[in-house]
Amino acid sequence: MAFPLFDLAGTRALVTGSSQGIGFALARGLAEHGAAIVLNGRDRSKLMTAAGSLKDAGHHVAISDFDVTDYDAVKNGVDAIERDIGPIDILINNAGMQFRTPLEDFPADRWEQLLKTNISSAFYAGQAVARHMIKRGAGKIINIASVQSELARPGIAPYTATKGAVKNLTRGMCADWAKHGLQVNAIAPGYFKTPLNQALVDSEEFSSWLEKRTPAARWGEVDELVGAAVFLASRASSFVNGHTLYVDGGITTCL
Protein backbone atom coordinates (compact mmCIF):
# COMPACT_ATOMS: atom_id res chain seq x y z
CA MET A 1 0.00 0.00 0.00
CA ALA A 2 1.49 3.34 -1.07
CA PHE A 3 -0.42 5.71 1.21
CA PRO A 4 1.90 5.30 4.25
CA LEU A 5 4.56 7.09 2.21
CA PHE A 6 2.50 10.27 2.62
CA ASP A 7 1.70 9.79 6.33
CA LEU A 8 2.96 12.72 8.43
CA ALA A 9 1.89 11.35 11.83
CA GLY A 10 4.53 11.97 14.46
CA THR A 11 6.00 15.00 12.67
CA ARG A 12 5.81 18.70 13.48
CA ALA A 13 5.66 21.43 10.85
CA LEU A 14 6.39 25.14 11.22
CA VAL A 15 4.66 27.19 8.51
CA THR A 16 5.57 30.86 8.27
CA GLY A 17 2.96 33.40 7.19
CA SER A 18 0.21 30.89 7.94
CA SER A 19 -2.67 32.85 9.43
CA GLN A 20 -4.40 33.02 6.03
CA GLY A 21 -4.09 32.27 2.33
CA ILE A 22 -1.61 29.74 0.99
CA GLY A 23 0.19 29.35 4.31
CA PHE A 24 -2.97 28.41 6.17
CA ALA A 25 -4.08 26.04 3.40
CA LEU A 26 -0.73 24.24 3.53
CA ALA A 27 -0.80 24.06 7.33
CA ARG A 28 -4.29 22.60 7.27
CA GLY A 29 -3.30 20.11 4.55
CA LEU A 30 -0.30 18.86 6.50
CA ALA A 31 -2.44 18.60 9.64
CA GLU A 32 -4.98 16.49 7.75
CA HIS A 33 -2.15 14.08 6.94
CA GLY A 34 -1.14 13.77 10.58
CA ALA A 35 1.39 16.53 11.27
CA ALA A 36 1.29 18.70 14.37
CA ILE A 37 1.37 22.33 13.24
CA VAL A 38 3.04 25.52 14.47
CA LEU A 39 1.44 28.55 12.85
CA ASN A 40 3.57 31.67 12.47
CA GLY A 41 2.82 35.29 11.71
CA ARG A 42 3.02 38.75 13.26
CA ASP A 43 -0.67 39.23 14.05
CA ARG A 44 -1.41 37.15 17.13
CA SER A 45 -5.17 37.61 16.87
CA LYS A 46 -5.20 36.24 13.31
CA LEU A 47 -3.03 33.32 14.42
CA MET A 48 -5.41 32.56 17.29
CA THR A 49 -8.36 32.50 14.90
CA ALA A 50 -6.53 30.24 12.45
CA ALA A 51 -5.37 27.94 15.27
CA GLY A 52 -8.90 27.74 16.61
CA SER A 53 -10.14 26.57 13.24
CA LEU A 54 -7.56 23.76 13.16
CA LYS A 55 -8.24 22.77 16.76
CA ASP A 56 -11.98 22.60 16.05
CA ALA A 57 -11.17 20.09 13.30
CA GLY A 58 -9.27 17.94 15.81
CA HIS A 59 -5.73 18.87 14.82
CA HIS A 60 -2.71 19.50 17.05
CA VAL A 61 -1.67 23.14 16.66
CA ALA A 62 0.42 25.79 18.41
CA ILE A 63 1.26 29.37 17.47
CA SER A 64 4.49 31.38 17.45
CA ASP A 65 4.22 35.07 16.57
CA PHE A 66 7.82 36.06 15.81
CA ASP A 67 8.68 38.41 12.91
CA VAL A 68 10.39 36.43 10.13
CA THR A 69 12.13 39.57 8.82
CA ASP A 70 14.04 39.97 12.12
CA TYR A 71 17.06 37.64 12.31
CA ASP A 72 17.28 37.56 16.11
CA ALA A 73 13.52 37.14 16.49
CA VAL A 74 13.57 34.17 14.12
CA LYS A 75 16.48 32.47 15.89
CA ASN A 76 14.92 33.00 19.31
CA GLY A 77 11.48 31.95 18.08
CA VAL A 78 12.75 28.73 16.50
CA ASP A 79 14.83 27.89 19.57
CA ALA A 80 11.76 28.45 21.76
CA ILE A 81 9.65 26.11 19.62
CA GLU A 82 12.32 23.42 19.77
CA ARG A 83 12.64 23.84 23.55
CA ASP A 84 9.02 24.34 24.60
CA ILE A 85 6.90 22.63 21.92
CA GLY A 86 9.11 20.05 20.27
CA PRO A 87 11.43 19.41 17.33
CA ILE A 88 10.60 20.93 13.96
CA ASP A 89 10.64 18.16 11.35
CA ILE A 90 9.19 20.24 8.50
CA LEU A 91 9.62 23.93 7.70
CA ILE A 92 7.54 25.70 5.08
CA ASN A 93 8.94 29.14 4.27
CA ASN A 94 5.76 30.75 3.03
CA ALA A 95 5.89 34.36 4.29
CA GLY A 96 5.79 36.79 1.41
CA MET A 97 4.47 40.08 0.09
CA GLN A 98 3.84 41.90 -3.18
CA PHE A 99 3.97 45.54 -4.26
CA ARG A 100 3.13 46.57 -7.79
CA THR A 101 4.42 49.69 -9.53
CA PRO A 102 6.54 50.48 -12.61
CA LEU A 103 10.20 49.75 -11.94
CA GLU A 104 11.32 53.32 -12.69
CA ASP A 105 9.04 54.54 -9.88
CA PHE A 106 9.64 51.69 -7.45
CA PRO A 107 10.38 53.11 -3.95
CA ALA A 108 13.66 52.02 -2.39
CA ASP A 109 11.99 51.30 0.95
CA ARG A 110 9.55 48.91 -0.73
CA TRP A 111 12.48 47.18 -2.47
CA GLU A 112 14.13 46.61 0.91
CA GLN A 113 10.85 45.41 2.41
CA LEU A 114 10.36 42.87 -0.40
CA LEU A 115 13.91 41.57 0.03
CA LYS A 116 13.47 41.09 3.78
CA THR A 117 10.02 39.52 3.54
CA ASN A 118 10.43 37.28 0.51
CA ILE A 119 14.05 36.12 0.61
CA SER A 120 15.80 37.13 3.85
CA SER A 121 13.03 35.49 5.88
CA ALA A 122 13.59 32.17 4.07
CA PHE A 123 17.31 32.35 4.84
CA TYR A 124 16.73 33.34 8.49
CA ALA A 125 14.16 30.62 9.18
CA GLY A 126 15.91 28.03 7.04
CA GLN A 127 19.20 28.51 8.84
CA ALA A 128 17.66 28.59 12.32
CA VAL A 129 15.68 25.41 11.74
CA ALA A 130 18.43 23.62 9.82
CA ARG A 131 20.85 23.99 12.73
CA HIS A 132 18.51 21.79 14.78
CA MET A 133 17.71 19.41 11.90
CA ILE A 134 21.41 18.86 11.17
CA LYS A 135 21.96 17.63 14.73
CA ARG A 136 19.17 15.08 14.21
CA GLY A 137 20.34 14.08 10.72
CA ALA A 138 16.94 14.66 9.12
CA GLY A 139 14.50 17.37 8.10
CA LYS A 140 12.33 18.77 5.34
CA ILE A 141 12.43 22.39 4.20
CA ILE A 142 9.96 23.65 1.60
CA ASN A 143 10.39 27.16 0.24
CA ILE A 144 7.51 28.88 -1.52
CA ALA A 145 8.78 30.23 -4.83
CA SER A 146 6.55 31.38 -7.71
CA VAL A 147 6.03 31.22 -11.45
CA GLN A 148 7.85 34.54 -11.20
CA SER A 149 10.93 32.48 -10.40
CA GLU A 150 10.90 31.86 -14.17
CA LEU A 151 8.71 34.56 -15.68
CA ALA A 152 8.45 38.35 -15.55
CA ARG A 153 5.58 40.78 -15.90
CA PRO A 154 5.50 44.60 -15.92
CA GLY A 155 5.27 46.26 -12.52
CA ILE A 156 6.66 43.45 -10.35
CA ALA A 157 10.36 43.28 -11.21
CA PRO A 158 11.54 43.34 -7.56
CA TYR A 159 9.09 40.55 -6.65
CA THR A 160 10.39 38.56 -9.61
CA ALA A 161 13.95 39.11 -8.39
CA THR A 162 13.12 37.83 -4.90
CA LYS A 163 11.33 34.74 -6.18
CA GLY A 164 14.21 33.93 -8.52
CA ALA A 165 16.43 34.18 -5.46
CA VAL A 166 14.17 31.78 -3.54
CA LYS A 167 14.59 29.19 -6.29
CA ASN A 168 18.38 29.44 -6.20
CA LEU A 169 18.50 29.62 -2.39
CA THR A 170 16.65 26.30 -2.44
CA ARG A 171 19.40 24.83 -4.62
CA GLY A 172 22.06 26.29 -2.35
CA MET A 173 20.42 24.91 0.79
CA CYS A 174 20.36 21.49 -0.86
CA ALA A 175 24.03 21.77 -1.81
CA ASP A 176 25.01 22.53 1.79
CA TRP A 177 22.54 20.46 3.79
CA ALA A 178 21.67 17.31 1.80
CA LYS A 179 24.77 15.62 3.21
CA HIS A 180 23.25 16.10 6.68
CA GLY A 181 20.05 14.25 5.77
CA LEU A 182 17.91 17.28 4.88
CA GLN A 183 15.67 17.54 1.82
CA VAL A 184 15.19 21.13 0.63
CA ASN A 185 12.76 21.80 -2.19
CA ALA A 186 10.46 24.55 -3.40
CA ILE A 187 6.88 24.84 -4.57
CA ALA A 188 6.27 27.47 -7.23
CA PRO A 189 2.59 28.39 -7.36
CA GLY A 190 1.07 29.93 -10.44
CA TYR A 191 -1.80 32.39 -10.09
CA PHE A 192 -3.93 31.45 -7.11
CA LYS A 193 -6.92 33.12 -5.50
CA THR A 194 -5.37 34.57 -2.33
CA PRO A 195 -5.59 37.85 -0.39
CA LEU A 196 -2.23 38.78 -1.96
CA ASN A 197 -3.79 38.53 -5.43
CA GLN A 198 -7.26 39.87 -4.64
CA ALA A 199 -6.84 43.01 -6.75
CA LEU A 200 -5.95 40.85 -9.75
CA VAL A 201 -8.77 38.39 -9.08
CA ASP A 202 -11.20 41.33 -9.04
CA SER A 203 -9.86 42.69 -12.32
CA GLU A 204 -11.94 41.39 -15.22
CA GLU A 205 -9.22 42.41 -17.65
CA PHE A 206 -6.46 40.56 -15.79
CA SER A 207 -8.55 37.44 -15.15
CA SER A 208 -9.44 37.29 -18.85
CA TRP A 209 -5.74 37.59 -19.77
CA LEU A 210 -4.80 34.89 -17.26
CA GLU A 211 -7.41 32.43 -18.49
CA LYS A 212 -6.09 32.84 -22.04
CA ARG A 213 -2.44 32.64 -20.94
CA THR A 214 -2.80 29.54 -18.75
CA PRO A 215 -3.36 26.15 -20.44
CA ALA A 216 -5.74 25.16 -17.61
CA ALA A 217 -7.66 28.37 -18.40
CA ARG A 218 -8.43 29.36 -14.80
CA TRP A 219 -7.12 30.61 -11.46
CA GLY A 220 -5.80 28.02 -9.02
CA GLU A 221 -7.49 27.27 -5.70
CA VAL A 222 -5.16 27.20 -2.68
CA ASP A 223 -6.15 23.65 -1.72
CA GLU A 224 -4.59 22.51 -5.01
CA LEU A 225 -1.17 23.20 -3.50
CA VAL A 226 -1.64 20.74 -0.65
CA GLY A 227 -0.71 17.61 -2.60
CA ALA A 228 2.66 19.05 -3.59
CA ALA A 229 3.36 20.12 0.00
CA VAL A 230 2.44 16.72 1.44
CA PHE A 231 4.61 14.99 -1.15
CA LEU A 232 7.65 17.16 -0.38
CA ALA A 233 7.07 16.92 3.40
CA SER A 234 6.73 13.14 3.44
CA ARG A 235 8.85 10.02 2.92
CA ALA A 236 7.50 9.89 -0.64
CA SER A 237 10.09 12.51 -1.64
CA SER A 238 13.07 11.04 0.23
CA PHE A 239 15.40 11.36 -2.80
CA VAL A 240 13.98 14.62 -4.17
CA ASN A 241 16.34 17.47 -3.35
CA GLY A 242 17.00 20.98 -4.65
CA HIS A 243 13.94 20.78 -6.89
CA THR A 244 11.34 23.44 -7.67
CA LEU A 245 7.89 21.97 -8.31
CA TYR A 246 5.67 24.23 -10.41
CA VAL A 247 1.96 24.05 -9.58
CA ASP A 248 0.74 26.53 -12.14
CA GLY A 249 -1.89 25.10 -14.47
CA GLY A 250 0.79 24.85 -17.16
CA ILE A 251 1.59 28.55 -17.48
CA THR A 252 5.37 27.97 -17.47
CA THR A 253 5.05 25.61 -20.45
CA CYS A 254 4.11 28.60 -22.58
CA LEU A 255 7.15 30.83 -22.35
Rounded to an integer, what is the distance from CA 168 to the centroid of its chain?
15
- Active-site choice (71, 124, 159, 191): 159
Q: Is 191 a catalytic residue?
A: no
Beta strands of the chain (E only): which ranges?
A: 12-15, 36-40, 61-64, 90-93, 139-144, 182-189, 244-247
* Residues present in the chain in total: 255
Of 252, 125, 255, 240, which is closest to residue 189 (Cα–Cα)?
252
Cα–Cα nearest to 146, from 23, 213, 4, 244: 244
Region for residue 90 given its phi and psi (left: phi exceeds 0; alpha: psi -120 to 50; beta: otherwise): beta
Residues recognised as catalytic = 159
